[in-house]
């Protein structure tokens, strides 16, 4: 059974087998959480991402973790939906991000995974709804991952994730 913890902090400091990044389709790095993960993992991450790009919204692909914390072996890149008001399948694409990331984690043999709040930054997905989708999707996915950490970068996201997981 998968346990889900909600924490406020820096996802690049998590001691897990795999870290998920909210990527763009090019997998070359971007702003926000993705930029922070790319900076922490080093320049080789962009080269590895380019080699497996593009990644479609709702899908997930993995690279080595390079210079991240020693416990972290993999980075799972997933592309969230851009919020366009909720009538364009955004919720389904976001749920797929979590589901596909866990499937990739299983294929890598990862037993612990840290997720950011996917698509809530520049992609504009409302935090409360995104948090509910994240928790529901993780708990509904059949996975060998034993521990999931939902890592919030700010207090608002932390509170949304905490409420969704209660």
For the segment 22-78, what is each residue's pLDDT rounded down to a tens digit? 999 999 999 999 999 999 999 999 999 999 999 999 999 999 999 998 999 999 999
Q: What integer pLDDT is reported at residue 17 of this predicted model? A: 98
Q: How far apart are CA 60 and CA 47, in angstroms?
A: 17
Q: Is residue 13 very low, low, confident or very high in pLDDT (cuts 50, 70, 90)? A: very high
Say which CATH topology domain 3-165 has. 3.40.220
Residue 3 CB neighbours (<10 A):
10
> Do the beta carbons of residue 81 and residue 89 sit within 8 Å?
yes
pLDDT per residue as tens digits for the range 118-144: 999 999 999 999 999 999 999 999 999
Check pLDDT > 90 for residue 20.
yes
Q: Is residue 105 very low, low, confident or very high in pLDDT (cuts 50, 70, 90)? A: very high
Q: Is residue 3 very low, low, confident or very high in pLDDT (cuts 50, 70, 90)? A: very high
Q: What integer pLDDT is reported at residue 11 of this predicted model? A: 98
- Residue ranges per structural domain of the chain: 3-165
Q: What integer pLDDT is reported at residue 1 of this predicted model? A: 85
Q: What integer pLDDT is reported at residue 108 of this predicted model? A: 98
Q: Tokens for 139?
A: 């708990």
Annotation marks residue 10 as catalytic: no
SS3 per residue for the chain: CCEEEEEECCHHHCCCCEEEEEECCCCCCCCHHHHHHHHHHCCHHHHHHHHHCCCCECCEEEEECCCCCCCCCEEEEEECCCCCCCCCCHHHHHHHHHHHHHHHHHHHCCCEEEECCCCCCCCCCCHHHHHHHHHHHHHHCCCCCCEEEEEECCHHHHHHHHHHHC
Catalytic residue from among 5, 10, 17, 34? 34
């Amino acid at each position: 059974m998968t346990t889900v913890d909600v924490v406020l902090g820096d996802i690049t400091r998590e001691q897990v087998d795999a870290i998920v990044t909210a990527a763009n389709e090019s997998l070359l790095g971007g702003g926000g959480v993705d930029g922070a993960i790319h900076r922490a993992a080093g320049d080789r991450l962009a080269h590895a991402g380019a080699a497996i790009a593009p990644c479609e919204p709702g899908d997930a692909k993995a690279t080595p973790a390079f210079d991240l914390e020693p416990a972290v072996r993999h980075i799972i890149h997933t592309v969230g939906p851009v919020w366009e008001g909720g009538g364009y399948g955004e919720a389904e694409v976001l749920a797929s991000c979590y589901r596909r990331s866990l499937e990739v984690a299983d294929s890598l043999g990862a037993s612990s995974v840290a997720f950011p709040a996917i698509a809530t930054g520049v992609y504009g997905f409302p935090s409360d709804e995104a948090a509910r989708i994240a928790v529901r999707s993780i708990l509904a996915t059949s996975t060998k991952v034993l521990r999931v950490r939902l890592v919030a970068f700010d207090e608002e996201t932390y509170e949304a994730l905490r409420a969704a997981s209660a």
